[in-house]
Amino acid sequence: MNYFFLLVKEDLKSNLSIPKFKNSGEFSKNLKLFGARIEEQKWKFYKPECIESENFWKVESDDNNFNDIYFLASTEQYDLQSNSNNLLDLNNFTNTFPDYRANLLVKNKAGAISSYQSEYPYQMTQRKGSIYSSISTLGNFHALENGVFVRNIYDKPFQDEFDGYIYDYESGSVLKKVTLITNSCNFISFEDVEDNGSLILFCKGYLGVPIYFSKSKAGNLSLEHTHPPHENIQGPDRFKIVSMIKKDLDEKVS
């Protein structure tokens, strides 16, 4: 089961288009779109305002829903979820290969747009851990504005603080430390950070999806995604290697 999310920051809003069909073309027969947000340390589940067509549900960000998540469920499954304190794995409709994704379109007041896939697997909501991502690979340091969204979804209705770092392997130092919030749309600006090809984003305590954002001098927007580090390593020991790399960096930033 997947969850879907919006991205919002100053001068930036987003639209979410969630398909009613799988990659294979199979349509959902009894599934509807629902939303969830945290209020008073509890999940509040609701039927969101959206534009519904034959093929899609479409949700636009506003001042209230930018941290909300969205999911597909039958009426019976929704009733089951509404009576639970944690997020539940309600169905496997979105468990597809290739991945079932929603389209996330971001736009600013000037009319510039960019698109990204909005997808957060249920199994990630069950885990804690750390994020290790190469800023130098995906950050656009020639842009007018440059940074990364870090979107976390955790199954319990917590909005806890956790630490994020910009680490420079060349100098062996932390260039920036920020406080992030679980179950939220976080943004880390790369302002005043110079790239030397060895910058890493490292977040301790919780997993999440890093989404790199840039605004060019011409006003164009760009969103770029990153893969988990183990997908860039071959061999049976790749998870062990990544674990060792993360442990080593954890000790360096502590």
- If phi > 0 it is left, if psi is from -120 to 50 it is alpha, else beta; for residue 24 that is alpha
Would strands 42-46 and 199-206 be described as parallel, antiparallel, or unpaired? unpaired
Find the angle CA(12)-CA(14)-CA(161) to the nearest 5 degrees.
75
Q: Tens digit of pLDDT per residue, the chain (254 long)? A: 999 999 999 999 999 999 999 989 999 889 999 999 999 999 999 999 999 999 999 999 999 999 999 999 999 999 999 999 999 999 999 999 989 999 999 999 999 999 998 999 999 999 999 999 999 988 999 999 999 999 999 999 999 999 999 999 999 999 999 999 999 999 999 999 999 999 999 999 999 999 999 999 999 999 998 777 777 777 888 889 889 999 999 999 98
E strand intervals along 182-216: 185-189, 199-206, 209-215
Tokens of 83: 């009576």
- pTM recorded for the entire structure: 0.94
Pick the CATH number of 127-253 from 1.10.1660, 1.10.10, 3.30.70, 2.60.290: 2.60.290
* Res 235: pLDDT: 85
Tokens of 218: 């011409």
| Domain extents in the chain | 2-123, 127-253
* Res 233: pLDDT: 79
26-51 in b/e form (b: 16+ CB < 10 A) is: eebeebbbbbbbbeeeebebeeeebe
* Res 238: pLDDT: 87
* Res 232: pLDDT: 75
